[in-house]
Amino acid sequence: MSDKNIRECDFTIAFQPIVDVASESRPFAYEALVRGLNGEGASKILAEARTKDFQAFDSSCRKRAVELAQRLKLSSHLSVNISSEAVGHASHGLISTLDAARTIGFPEEKLIFEISEHRAINDLCRAKDEISVCKSRGSLIAYDDFGAGYNCIAALLEIRPDILKIDMSLIRGIDTDIRRRSIMSAIHDVCSRLHIAIIAEGIETRQEMDALRALGVNLMQGYYFARPIIEHLPMPAPDADGPGIEREARAVENKYQTARDVPGC
Ligand SMILES: [Ca+2]
């Protein structure tokens, strides 16, 4: 992708905290989410990028996220998204982001790679080799949107992630839905046996948080804690029911529009 093409789909990065509710809801990590310069959502920016060299664009998003995280003095983990097709890519795979982090001076062991499997991995052997290198350099591998993509169970065997991110479709209304709680309980049991951490995505209410805590899930992400904010590390504000979050949003609204769409790279 030429510099000209990258400028044509110009973008920035919003950050949303992933909190540890067992640790006073302190940030465990921040997920980096691509946004347009005027606050456009990820889907619009990525749709434009897909008409060009998507892997190069995807890689440049991760590099920009690392640069910003370093500039913002991020002290927790940084979670960046990578499509399954890019894992193992010779020029734009996981290693390219690790090398960029090393050049920028951002600790590689603070990186989490969220692999989303909306399409099949192109070369599984190569992908597994790259994931192995990644882990040897201290980074963590997360499997994204679990419950919404394809080959979910196979991924636990092939990718062997450190973290499973549970899609919000399994989380929404979990406090009132015995089926969702039963599925989450079974996932939690399997992950405990395989030493895989769970992050629940899309928490919007105190009741959803409480139901997940009762099932033993402590790492959570969602509007209940904080919305993503462009080029800013919002502090989680559970129980604020909006005011704390809105104060942070107003602090930057003169420069950027608060990112309000569904998280996802
Ligand atoms: Ca993600």
Residues 235-263: tens digit of each pLDDT: 998 765 543 444 444 444 434 444 433 33
Residues 54-88: tens digit of each pLDDT: 888 889 999 999 999 999 999 999 999 998 888 88
Determine the distance separating the centroid of ligand 1 and the alpha carbon of 193, expressed in angstroms: 24
Residues spanned by the domain of 223: 3-252
Any domain includes 212 = yes
Any domain includes 220 = yes
Any domain includes 261 = no
Any domain includes 232 = yes
Eight-class DSSP state of 120? -
Residue 13, helix vs strand vs coil = strand
Any domain includes 144 = yes
- 39 pLDDT above the threshold of 70: yes
Both tokens assigned to 76: 């927790």
Determine the distance separating the centroid of ligand 1 and the alpha carbon of 115, expressed in angstroms: 8
Check which CATH number belongs to the domain holding 80 and give it.
3.20.20.450
Determine the distance separating the centroid of ligand 1 and the alpha carbon of 65, expressed in angstroms: 13
Q: What is the mean pLDDT of residues 192-205?
A: 96
What residue type is 246 in one-letter code? E
- 193 pLDDT above the threshold of 70: yes
Percent of the chain with pLDDT over 70: 83
State how many domains the chain has.
1
pTM recorded for the entire structure? 0.86
